[in-house]
Structure 1
Amino acid sequence: MKYAAVTEQLAGLGSDKWTLSLAARKRIDAGQPVINLTIGEPDVPTPDWLIDAACAAMQAGRTGYSNGRGEPSLLSALSRRYTERLGREIGQNRFLCLPGTQTSLYLVLRALCEPGCEVILSDPMYATYEGLIRASGAIPVGVRLRPEMSFRLQASDIAEKITPATRAILINTPHNPTGAILGPAELAAIGALAQAHDLWIVSDEVYGDLTHAGRPFTSALADPAFEDRTVIAASISKSHAAPGFRSGWVVGPVEFCTRALPLSETMLFGSQPFIADMTAQAVLAPPTLAQGMAARMANRAQILFDALDGVAGLNVHRPEAGMFALLDIRTLSDNSLDFALDLLDRTGVAAMPGASFGPALEGWLRIALNASDADTHEACRRIRAHAERKAA
């Protein structure tokens, strides 16, 4: 039988990236004691007030069809949120509402790219980015992030990768898996580069409310000089502990939203109205929940650093934001998947191999910070013992 080329282009780019996490989940389901540090889920359940809002909306009959752009209540809330945060009017006609950041990025890249285009992005990268780019027919072009630059994407490194085929620069700030935050000067340099070469900037900002120790976050949309070529994707999955609700959005130029709307309607023709109503309340609420999570996760990154940095050749990279820390295991292994599987087998600690996030992170582990403090301490004890055995 014949299949579309996209099925070959995406082979190995889906669940194959999560082999270690799936192995951990299988053991947990079988009743085995595993400390699972693989997935960036919030460390608290979805708050009752959001669940109550969704339930109330369903009981009020908000279960019918929506439209491709988004429910008026949510569009109004998003417009108010971004207008207040950016200090200038961001109208409702600059938004499209979709089920989560993943779907939002799929829409954006399909709307901007075509076969043969190139999209520049960081290496390491979030595990699904390569698949999202290839699904559009475009080619991902990685720019290596350097530990000595705190894993921040540099415009000078991007410039070396630009060709006549380049269509867009995909950034992620705060960054998964490194936790790096791009500052205003770095964003301005990337914006100027995109302007000089007539490129799009696509920014995944799902961790924007989860900065550690009060560090400031700057959106790629902050500078109005580049807003005609900047498209942002975000959601309530992380900030409001609601990953299962799949509620996200795109904010970009009016023309982009107008041209992308038929594609959105072809994909989904609207999200659930009761989830839109809940999301409208979420985006207007103070970011108290996110701030609490960020503080706890910063503390767990410190626990990792205190317990493991410098032990048996290990080094811990503490994040500036987000739900992960990085563990440098290069003195012990040059194969992060083998090391992670051995760690799981011998200690019951599950951490993601860095290679799942790109070649630049081979020899590292990504460690989620959403386990309890007690489990984090215990995981550190087991990792330390495992590393010391390896180093002996």
Structure 2
Amino acid sequence: MRYASVTNRLAGLGSDKWAVHMRAREMKHAGEDVIELTIGEPDIPTPNDMIDVAERSMRAGRTGYSNGRGEPAVLAALSAKYTARTGRPIDAEHIMCFPGTQTALSLVMLGIAEEGDEIITGDPLYATYDGVVRATGAMRVSVPLRPEKGFRMQAADLEKVITPRTKVLLLNTPHNPTGAVLSAREIAEIGEVCRKHNLWIVSDEVYEQLIFDGTFASPLDQPELADRTVAVSSISKSHAAPGFRSGWCVGPKDFTRRLLPLSESMLFGGQPFIADMTAYALGQPSAAASTMRESYLRRARSIANRLDGVAGIDCKIPQAGMFILADIRATGLSGDEFAMRLLEEELVAVMPGESFGENLAGYLRLSLSVADDKIDAACAGIVRLASRLQKRKSA
């Protein structure tokens, strides 16, 4: 039988990146006491008041069909949020709701890129971006995010990779996996390059409320960039509600008008009771985000104190997010090799940097959404393996 070319473009894409995680799950299923620091999922429950709203909404009959753009209450809440943030009127016609940021990213990209186009991302990058880009038929082009610049994209580096085929810059701030946060000045410089070359900016802002050091800035908030920017986000990280799958995009009215039929052909609306819960959550400061910021920063400091400068490891506190990086290149192993040995020898599962791009080769990504005692045990295992490797190198 014949298949669409998209199935070939995505065949096997990304599966190898999660090999350590999948192996860890197999070992846990077999009874091994594995410590998982592989994925970023809030380790606190979705707040009870949010669940109560969803339950009341369901019992009130809010379980029917919705519409392609979003329920009035959540559109109003998002309008209030982004109007206050940008200082410009952002109404419902600027907004579309989706089941999570991943869906928002996928549909947004399908609306602006196609075969023959190029989409620029940073490298390192979030592991699913390859699939998001290739699904459109476009090719992904990398801008190196350099450690000496704190893994923050530089406008000069961006300009070097632009070609006549470049259509979109996929920006991620705060950044996964590095935790880097772009300043308003850096975004303005990047945005000027995008204006010069008439590029769209798609801004993944899911970690907006998990910043430890610095202030959140977005191209959407800069008036001169607003007509080319589409921001995507969700309540998954900010409100510890990943399983509810509630996300959105905010962009120019003409963009959402054109995207609406594409969205409706795939998703004719979300669940009204989840929209009601989201509207409630957006109407007040997130206590969950405050709790997570405090615990993630504490754990990041603990990991950096235990690993930085020990057995050749370099480990610095990130600016934001749910992860911390450890540079283990001095051990002589790749991130893939170290991570697999760490799992087999110490029963600690972490993500190899290579899963997030060539520029993170020789690094590890450790999740901060794990209990403190497990963090301590995981760090001890990393130090033991790195020390053994260091002794063998010097022998």
Please state which band the TM-score falls in when normalised by the shorter chain.
over 0.9
Report SS of the residue matched to 1:179: coil
User: 1:11 is matched with which residue?
Assistant: 11
- Whole-angstrom distance in 2 between the partners of 1:211 and 1:262: 35
Alignment check: 8 A CA contact 1:236 1:243 kept: yes
Q: State the shift of 1:210 in Å.
A: 0.4
Matched position secondary structure for 1:295 = helix
- Counterpart CA distance in 1 for 2:381 and 2:335 is 17
2:364: which partner in 1? 365
User: Aligned to 2:315, what secondary structure does the other structure show?
Assistant: strand
Task: Point out where structure 2 has 5 or more consecutive residues left out of the alignment.
Answer: none
**Equivalent residue, structure 2, for 1:76:** 76
State how far apart, in whole Å, the 2-side matches of 1:373 and 1:86 are.
37
Please state whether the residue corresponding to 1:327 is helix, strand or coil: strand
User: How do 1:105-120 residues align onto structure 2 when only pairs under 5 Å count?
Assistant: 105-120=105-120
Per-residue deviation, residues 325-379 of structure 1 (Å, max 9, x unmatched):
0010111134211211110011111000111101111100000001111111111
Contact 1:333 1:339 in 2 (8 A): no
Q: Secondary structure at the match of 2:376?
A: helix
Q: Which residue identity does 1:339 align to in structure 2? A: F
Matches of 2:311 and 2:98 in 1, distance apart?
46
The TM-score normalised by the length of structure 1 is 0.98
1:184 corresponds to which residue? Answer: 184
Give CA-to-partner distance per residue, 1:231-279, whole Å, 9 cap, x none.
0000000111111111100000000000000001011111111111111
Taking the TM superposition and a 5 Å limit, the aligned residue runs for 1:54-203 are 54-203=54-203
Distance 2:99 2:90 in 1: 21
- 1:67 partner letter: N
1:287-306 mapped onto 2 (5 Å cutoff): 287-306=286-305
Shift of 1:382: 1.2
Contact residue 119 and residue 139 of structure 2 kept, 8 A: yes
For residues 26 and 55 of structure 1, the distance between their equivalents in structure 2, rounded to whole angstroms, comes to 35
> 1:21: which partner in 2?
21
- Cα gap change, 1:10/1:334 in structure 2, threshold over 3 Å: closer, same or farther? farther
Q: Say what the alpha-carbon RMSD is for the aligned residues.
A: 1.0
Report Cα offsets for 1:10-50 as digits up to 9, x if no partner. 12324332111111122223332111000000120111111
Q: Structure 1 CA distance, aligned partners of 2:219 and 2:370?
A: 31
Mean Cα deviation higher: 170-179 or 308-317: 308-317
CA distance in 1, matches of 2:126, 2:167: 20
How far 1:53 sits from its partner (Å)?
Answer: 1.1
**SS across alignment from 1:376:** helix
**In the aligned structure 1, how far is the partner of 2:32 from the partner of 2:54?**
35
Q: Deviations over 1:289-344 (max 9, x none)?
A: 11220121111111111111111111013210000000101111342112111100
Query: How many Å separate the matches in 2 of 1:323 and 1:26?
Result: 24
Instruction: Using the TM superposition, give the Cα deviation of residue 287 of structure 1 relative to its aligned residue in structure 2, in angstroms.
Output: 2.4
Kept in 2, the 8 Å contact 1:334–1:362? The answer is no
- Deviation string for 1:122-152 (max 9, x for gaps)? 0010000011000001100011110000000
- In the other structure, the counterpart of 1:347 is 346
Distance 1:29 1:47 in 2: 29
The question of whether the paired residues in 2 share the 8 Å contact of 1:93 and 1:257 is answered with yes
Cα deviation for residue 386 of structure 1 reads: 1.0
**Matches of 1:25 and 1:294, distance apart in 2:** 27
CA contact (8 A) 1:94 1:253 kept: yes
Q: CA deviation at 1:169?
A: 0.5
The AA in structure 2 aligned to 1:363 is G
**What is the CA distance between 1:91 and its match in structure 2?**
1.0
Maintained 8 Å contact 2:354/2:361: yes
Give the conservation status (yes or no) of the 8 Å contact 2:14–2:130: no
Deviation at 1:190, TM superposition (A): 1.1
Letter in 2 for 1:372: A
d(CA) in 2 for partners of 1:216 and 1:384? 33
Kept in 1, the 8 Å contact 2:152–2:181? The answer is yes
Instruction: Give the fraction of aligned pairs with identical amino acids, expressed as a percent.
Output: 54
Question: In structure 2, what residue type is equivalent to 1:31?
Answer: G
Give 1:283 shift: 1.4
The DSSP-based 3-state class of the residue aligned with 2:11 is coil
Q: Does structure 2 conserve the Cα–Cα contact (< 8 Å) formed by 1:232 and 1:250?
A: yes
User: Partners of 2:158 and 2:199 in 1: how far apart?
Assistant: 12
1:210 match: 210
After superposition, what is the alpha-carbon deviation per residue over 1:188-232, rounded to whole angstroms, capped at 9, x for unaligned? Answer: 01111111111100000000000015x311122111111000000
SS of aligned partner of 1:152: coil
Which residue in the other structure is 1:282 paired with? 281
Amino acid at match of 1:4: A
Aligned residues: 391
